[in-house]
Structure 1
Amino acid sequence: MNKKPFLNYINRYIHLTIEEENLLFSKIIERNYLKDQYIVQQGDTCKTVNFIISGCTKTFYMNTDGQEHIVGFSIEDWWTSDLGSFITQTPADFNVQCLENTKLFQFTYDNLEELYEEIPKLERLFRKITERAFVASQKRIIRNFSLSAKERYQIFKTTYPKIEQRVPQYMIASYLGITKEFLSKIKSQMTQER
């Protein structure tokens, strides 16, 4: 288990003693998923919160017509889960699927609750993570209401340059709430404007 990427991430928020690090890693499950495998499926209770060591995932909602609505992507040093389902231990609203072979560090609900008791500063870490996720979600909602598709795409390109290189265009279009044809048109316009 290569602990370094996760410890580097944690150290941005809190500092753990060697004993606390050992306890933390005793509760982590290291798991490998293949491309196209699901980490969470809509309707199932989300059992883990997941830190990505390597790979890429998408989080999406599938409507009753079989239409996929992508709400997010996650890559290395990011978290992926249906957080609402995990926190409430109720059926998931979202699917989380691997777009590449993906290696994760996973925390079960019970393990995380035990860690909060034994290492109280971990609650601060997960509060900060949850706050950042909430703010990002709120900003995305506002952008979807107030910005044009072209502006949303420009923000996506600037904010997530590593994701754009790894994800098919039709998925980016779904994330932006537009068709892949419209995304192609936007990209063509942007190329001409240069």
Structure 2
Amino acid sequence: MHQMIENKIQPLLNYISQYVELTDTEKQLLLSKVLYRKYLKGQYVLQQGDICKYECFVLKGCTKMFHVDETGQEHILLFSIEDWWTADMGSFITQAPSDFNVMCLETTELAIFHHDSIETLYKEIPKLERFFRQVIEKAFAASQKRIVRNFSLSAKDRYIYFKTQYPLIEQRIPQYMVASYLGITKEFLSKIKKQLLLDN
């Protein structure tokens, strides 16, 4: 059973090995606590108002995390592709209802850690607590930098940054979602792209 899980979640093991080295015993314990799930395009991993019970690592596919406001407007906070994490970390840590949805934009395979399982792993394998702390710190720093970019950069410069930093994502998602992520309309994004073509 562990061998089958190990084959499916090998990208996660490769990712963890960049941060910490696990013994064979520790790896077997990890494999006993991680779940593998496959979702179809359009399926929700998390819905707004639910408590986020899982921290998810994307093995294959693409997800978006977004908030729907009172008018029904969608605000995209994050896209996640292979070797990225997705979850509402605030809800996961506090076990309070989530402000966000996580939906699959493609058929997506996830390695999933349940909240209770992570606490067990922290106790049994202390180095994994250090690993997850680093993951959370990186996510927090990226979130803060994005807030600063939204305050300080023009929509055009935000798009250039997105295109440069995440070229693999832009090719896989509709343009109206890119616009939502940037906080602009799809029409305005179209104008920006036309302007960039003229500039070049």
The Cα shift of 1:4 comes to 2.2
Match of 2:45 in 1: 39
Three-state SS of the structure 1 residue aligned to 2:180 is helix
For 1:85, the aligned partner's letter is: S
The residue aligned with 1:123 is 129
Match of 1:169 in 2: 175
- Unaligned 5+ segments in structure 2 are none
Q: Which residue of 2 aligns with 1:189?
A: 195
Query: What TM-score does the superposition give when structure 2 sets the normalisation length?
Result: 0.96
Task: Show structure 1 runs of 5+ residues with no match.
Answer: none
CA distance in 1, matches of 2:12, 2:23: 14
| Aligned match of 1:103 | 109
Shift of 1:8: 1.1
Aligned to 1:135: 141
Q: How does 1:1-194 map to 2 (within 5 A)?
A: 1=5, 2=7, 3-194=9-200
Identity among equivalent positions (%) equals 64
Aligned length: 194
Which one-letter code corresponds to 2:108 in the other structure? T
Instruction: Give the alignment's Cα RMSD to 1 decimal.
Output: 0.6
Structure 1's consecutive aligned runs of 4 or more residues displaced over 6 angstroms after TM superposition are: none
1:7 Cα deviation after fit: 1.2
- Length-normalised TM-score, structure 1: 0.99
